[in-house]
């Protein structure tokens, strides 16, 4: 291969990008060149085709045929005839027009159901595969650290173990279809200063190793993820895109990763333009390639001419280009793109929003709805007058996150229909409560600050038997929303005049059910304290309105649990329940960081009782710990309980969290039925980075507890770890084993 042919395989090409149609990537307007002509760009071949389906609203069947035409052109008109690998965004489903849109990742976390997330991943992979797409840019494994960060809505949880288990399930689902999953954003991105997008990160090596890296390690070593995307972050002054410690030493040498590392869009060029650690585009390319970034996305800003010049003047050895090239070609070979009989021609009908996918979106949405408080007003019953008020009550956009096609692309194409059937919550309530007399008023917008409609909304509530107040976010990109990429929050008060609307409605004395449709957790202590019931739904997707309505009516028994703590105020950020003793309330500060509602919290319309907690009294440090508990549905209707197991290292050589999730199980039980749930907690989850930088399990006492939430302890046992310090070798790949047996 010539040098130009090699470099062509290390870049993407982004077609049909029109600056006038809006920005969907950071600084796209300044980084993306003029309209690209495919044949001229790809004369020597091309590594990837960027977002063929996800840049504009195009008919999927037509676009599939057009993509096959591009591949056929590469086979027939380039010297080597190597097809391109096509990638798309797929965080809430394939980000293409008319494709099923699922709930956002915090809803996956709220479900505590990895099996269902794996099924969703498989459906998403099948939809991509049917179109000729080979790689999906998901999931996001960033651990939530600060609720002000706009990209919280793309993250699963504030707990690294839950992030790891949920995202590993997603990876297995997608890759079971022959499509590559891409882990984002490696690493540290969510730990940005002040919760600002693309801001510096200052995290110690222990925090990075024990909290931020752990989900990636599981997804690479346990789930076999095929690709990793670098983070835009700079940790302690070193941009990840130029950091060989993480991209090579940790990812490849320590974890054995053999896939490809792809650049987040324009991240290589950002080494020069944003981080100022490279003197020009060529220097940026040299640093990124040397560190371990194999493919530049979305297009060849630095890895084409600037990198070719760097080879010519001796700034980089061609052997490093060959290293990345071998990884790219090996992946293409594994995908069948290098086979002599590779056929890009499409076959079979295209239905990206088929009934099975919609049913899956419904099930995940239903499992993710969280009942936060309830004084008995829910479930709604009887022929009642119901006031449905609030900015998100009758707005279909309130269902979708910023990486859905509806919010990511369609705002730049006004007048184009969503392409999927998605009723608003008001529509869904009218269908679900046919005997109710429903009236409605908006009251105020999400963030427009308009107060003119608040008195009318309050009067409507006062005249009704019950009020449903629908508040929350509007997702968008780069300041065009209240949640989403580049939509960071100065305050965790509800946006705009929504708090005033809530105060006016609650002051009427009418029993009020508050529904929060958001991308993050807001600080709403007064609402939690005064409302008759509060329901949390993170952007629940196209089937989300019906799911919420069925929870309100009682047709669905809520089972979601908080994947992130609900804060008391903005001043407590950044916050994680995984804090050491010094991170809690104390007499030395007047601020109490405790959340209003804790991680893992959620109510049901039935009652669950626990009994018979057992745990081994002594085990050798480094050996797994077995514990079991019996959970019984003591109510009068079927329901699902999320059994949670936490560990607490009582005395250690470094400060440790007061509690740390090490296992969970979603247990579905009929009334009166019971199950025995057994957990085998491996040493991997009890290990931490000691003072000498080694990952160890130390002898001593560990409190092992079963809880309804991190703050609601059912029972605790003390387990003594015996013997010498166990040095974690890194080869152990076990996560907590769970078995559920009938116990009646």
Question: Predicted confidence band at 385 (pLDDT cuts at 50, 70, 90)?
Answer: very high
- Cβ neighbour number for residue 313 with a 10 Å cutoff: 8
The yes-or-no verdict on residue 555 having pLDDT over 70 is yes
Contact between 427 and 545 under an 8 Å Cβ cutoff? The reply is yes
3-state helix, strand, coil in the chain (%, to 5): 30, 20, 45
Nearest-angstrom CA–CA distance, 630 and 686: 24
For 372-376, which contacts have Cβ atoms below 8 Å and span 24 or more sequence positions?
Answer: 372/528, 372/533, 372/534, 372/535, 372/536, 372/562, 372/566, 372/597, 372/601, 372/602, 372/603, 373/528, 373/531, 373/533, 373/534, 373/603, 374/532, 374/533, 374/603, 375/511, 375/532, 375/533, 376/532
Cβ within 8 Å of residue 363, ≥6 positions away? 116
pLDDT for 29 equals 67
List Cα–Cα distances, 292 to 285, 297, 301, 353, 482, in angstroms. Answer: 11, 14, 17, 38, 35
Closest by CA to 331, choosing from 83, 574, 95, is: 83
Residue 159 has pLDDT above 80, yes or no: yes
Q: Is the pLDDT of residue 125 over 80?
A: yes
**What is the spatial distance between Cα 86 and Cα 50, in angstroms, rounded to a whole number?**
6
* CA distances from residue 569 to 301, 393, 482, 564, 596 in whole angstroms, order as listed: 43, 25, 17, 14, 9
Alpha-carbon gap, residue 568 to 593, rounded angstroms:
7
Strands (E), 555-659: 608-615, 618-620, 625-633, 639-649
Backbone angles phi, psi at 390, to 5 degrees: 115, 160
Q: How far apart are CA 18 and CA 56, in angstroms?
A: 10
Q: Coil, strand or helix: which one is 621?
A: coil
CA dihedral 175, 178, 184, 187 (to 10 degrees): 70
Residue 319 makes CB contacts below 8 A (sequence gap 6+) with none
Angle subtended at Cα 283 by Cα 281 and Cα 286, rounded to the nearest 5 degrees: 110
Q: What pLDDT is recorded for position 427?
A: 98
Q: Per-residue pLDDT for 22 more than 90?
A: no
Catalytic annotation, residues: 202, 264
| Confidence at residue 382, expressed as pLDDT on a 0 to 100 scale | 78
Query: What average pLDDT does this structure show over 625-653?
Result: 98
What DSSP letter does each residue of 31-50 carry, written as one string? Answer: HS-SPPPHHHHTBTB-SEEE
Per residue in 255-312, pLDDT (tens digit) is 999 999 999 999 999 999 999 999 999 999 999 999 999 999 999 999 999 999 999 9
Q: Using an 8 Å Cβ cutoff, are 134 and 86 in contact?
A: yes
Mean pLDDT to the nearest integer, 244-253: 98
pLDDT of residue 28: 79
Predicted pLDDT of residue 706: 98
Q: How confident is the model at residue 36 (pLDDT cuts 50, 70, 90)?
A: confident
pLDDT tens, position by position, 77-87: 999 999 999 99
Kindly tell me if the per-residue pLDDT of 731 is higher than 90: no
Check residue 124 and give its pLDDT.
Answer: 98
Lowest pLDDT segment from 13-27, 45-59, 216-230, 381-395: 13-27
Radius of gyration of the chain, Cα coordinates, nearest whole angstrom: 26
Structure tokens that stand for 709 in this block: 């939430």
For residue 741, name the pLDDT band (cuts at 50, 70, 90).
very high
Report the chain's mean pLDDT, rounded to a whole number.
96
Question: What gap in Å lies between CA 144 and CA 126, rounded to an integer?
Answer: 29
Mean pLDDT, residues 336-340 taken together:
96
To which H or E segment does residue 184 belong?
A: strand 180-186
Helix axes of 160-175 and 114-131: crossing angle, nearest 10 degrees: 40
Which residue from 239, 248, 235, 227 is spatially nearest to 266, judged by alpha carbons?
A: 239
Euclidean distance between CA atoms 741 and 107, whole angstroms: 27
pLDDT at 314 exceeding the cut of 90: yes
Report the pLDDT averaged over residues 547-572. 97
What domains can be seen in the chain, in order of their start residue? Answer: 26-334 (3.20.20.300), 364-575 (3.40.50.1700), 608-742 (2.60.40.10)
**d(Cα 497, Cα 353) in Å, to the nearest integer?**
36
E strand spans, 634-736: 639-649, 660-669, 674-681, 688-689, 695-697, 700-709, 712-722, 726-727
| Residue 625 scores a pLDDT above 70 | yes
CA distances 305 to 4, 30, 146, 281, Å, are 9, 18, 40, 9
Q: Check: CB of residue 359 under 8 Å from CB of residue 103.
A: no
Q: Hunting for tokens 């950044």 — which residue is that?
A: 574
Rounded to 5 degrees, φ, ψ at 468 are -115, 110
Please report, rounded to a whole number, the percentage of residues in the chain having pLDDT higher than 70. 99
The pLDDT value recorded for residue 317 is 97
Going by pLDDT thresholds of 50, 70 and 90, the confidence category of residue 20 is low
Question: Does 429 have pLDDT greater than 60?
Answer: yes
Check: CB of residue 138 under 8 Å from CB of residue 108.
no
Q: What is the mean pLDDT of residues 130-152?
A: 98
DSSP string, 385-417: EEEEESTTTT-GGGG--TTSHHHHTGGGSTT--
573-600: per-residue pLDDT in tens? 999 999 999 999 988 899 889 999 999 9
- What was the pLDDT predicted at 18? 67
CA atoms within 13 A on the CB side of 332: 24
């Amino acid at each position: 291969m010539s040098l130009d042919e090699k470099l062509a395989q290390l870049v993407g090409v982004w077609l049909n990008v029109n600056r006038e149609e809006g920005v969907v990537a950071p600084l796209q307007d300044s980084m993306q060149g003029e309209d690209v002509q495919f044949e001229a760009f790809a004369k020597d071949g091309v590594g990837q085709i960027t977002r063929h389906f996800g840049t504009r609203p195009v008919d999927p069947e037509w676009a599939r045929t057009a993509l096959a035409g591009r591949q056929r052109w590469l086979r027939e008109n380039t010297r080597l005839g190597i097809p391109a690998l096509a990638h798309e965004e797929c965080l809430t489903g394939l980000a293409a027009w008319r494709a099923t849109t699922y709930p956002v990742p915090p809803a996956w976390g709220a479900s505590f159901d990895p099996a269902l997330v794996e099924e969703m991943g498989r459906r998403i992979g099948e939809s991509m595969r049917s179109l000729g797409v080979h790689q999906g840019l998901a999931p996001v494994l960033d651990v939530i650290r600060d609720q002000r960060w706009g990209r919280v809505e793309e993250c699963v949880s504030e707990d690294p173990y839950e992030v790891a288990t949920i995202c590993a399930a997603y990876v297995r689902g997608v890759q079971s279809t022959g499509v590559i999953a891409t882990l984002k954003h490696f690493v540290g991105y969510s730990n940005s200063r002040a919760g600002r997008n693309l801001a510096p990160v200052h995290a110690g090596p222990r925090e990075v190793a024990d909290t931020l890296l752990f989900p990636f390690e599981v997804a690479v070593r346990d789930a076999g993820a095929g690709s990793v995307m670098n983070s835009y972050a700079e940790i302690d002054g070193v941009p990840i895109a130029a950091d060989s410690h993480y991209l090579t030493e940790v990812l490849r040498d320590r974890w054995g990763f053999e896939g490809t590392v792809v650049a987040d869009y324009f991240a290589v060029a950002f080494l020069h333009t944003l981080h100022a650690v490279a003197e020009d585009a060529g220097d940026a390319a040299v640093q990124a390639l040397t560190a371990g970034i194999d493919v530049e996305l979305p297009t060849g800003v630095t890895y084409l001419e600037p990198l070719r010049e760097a080879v010519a003047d001796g700034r980089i050895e061609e052997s490093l280009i060959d290293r990345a090239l071998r990884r790219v070609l090996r992946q293409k070979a594994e995908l069948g793109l290098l086979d002599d009989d590779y056929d890009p021609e499409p076959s079979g009908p295209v239905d990206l929003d088929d009934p099975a996918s919609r049913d899956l979106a419904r099930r995940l949405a239903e499992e993710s709805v969280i009942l936060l408080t309830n004084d008995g007003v829910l479930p709604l019953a009887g022929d009642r007058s119901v006031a449905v008020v609030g900015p998100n009550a009758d707005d279909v956009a309130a269902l979708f996150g910023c990486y859905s096609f509806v919010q990511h692309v369609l705002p730049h194409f006004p007048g184009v229909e969503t392409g999927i059937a998605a009723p608003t919550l008001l529509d869904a309530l009218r269908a679900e409560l046919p005997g109710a007399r429903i009236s409605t008023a908006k009251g105020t917008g999400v963030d427009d600050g308009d107060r003119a409609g608040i008195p009318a909304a309050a009067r409507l509530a006062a005249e009704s038997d019950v009020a449903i107040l629908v508040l929350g976010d509007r997702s968008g990109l780069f300041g065009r929303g209240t949640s989403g990429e580049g939509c960071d929050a100065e305050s965790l008060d509800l946006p705009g005049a929504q708090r005033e609307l809530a105060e006016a409605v609650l002051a009427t004395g009418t029993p009020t059910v508050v529904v929060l449709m958001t991308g993050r957790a807001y600080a709403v202590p007064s609402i939690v304290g005064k409302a008759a019931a509060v329901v949390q739904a993170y952007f629940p997707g196209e089937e989300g309105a019906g799911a919420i309505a069925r929870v309100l009516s009682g047709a669905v028994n809520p089972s979601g649990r908080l994947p992130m703590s609900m804060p008391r105020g903005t001043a407590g950020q950044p916050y994680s329940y995984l804090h050491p003793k010094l991170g809690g309330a104390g007499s030395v500060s007047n601020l109490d960081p405790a959340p209003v509602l804790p991680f893992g919290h959620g109510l049901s319309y039935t009652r669950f009782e626990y009994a018979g907690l057992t745990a081994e009294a002594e085990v050798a440090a480094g050996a797994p710990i077995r514990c079991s508990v019996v959970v019984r549905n003591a109510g009068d209707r079927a329901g699902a309980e999320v059994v949670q197991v936490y560990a607490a290292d009582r005395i250690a050589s470094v400060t440790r969290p007061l509690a740390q999730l090490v296992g969970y199980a979603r247990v579905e039980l009929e009334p009166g039925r019971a199950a025995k749930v057994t957990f085998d907690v491996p040493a991997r989850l009890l290990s931490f980075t000691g003072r000498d930088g080694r990952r160890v399990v130390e002898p001593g006492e560990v409190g092992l507890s079963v809880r309804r939430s991190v703050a609601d302890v059912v029972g605790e046992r003390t387990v003594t770890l015996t013997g010498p310090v166990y040095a974690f070798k890194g080869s152990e790949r076990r996560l907590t084993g769970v078995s559920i047996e009938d116990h009646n």
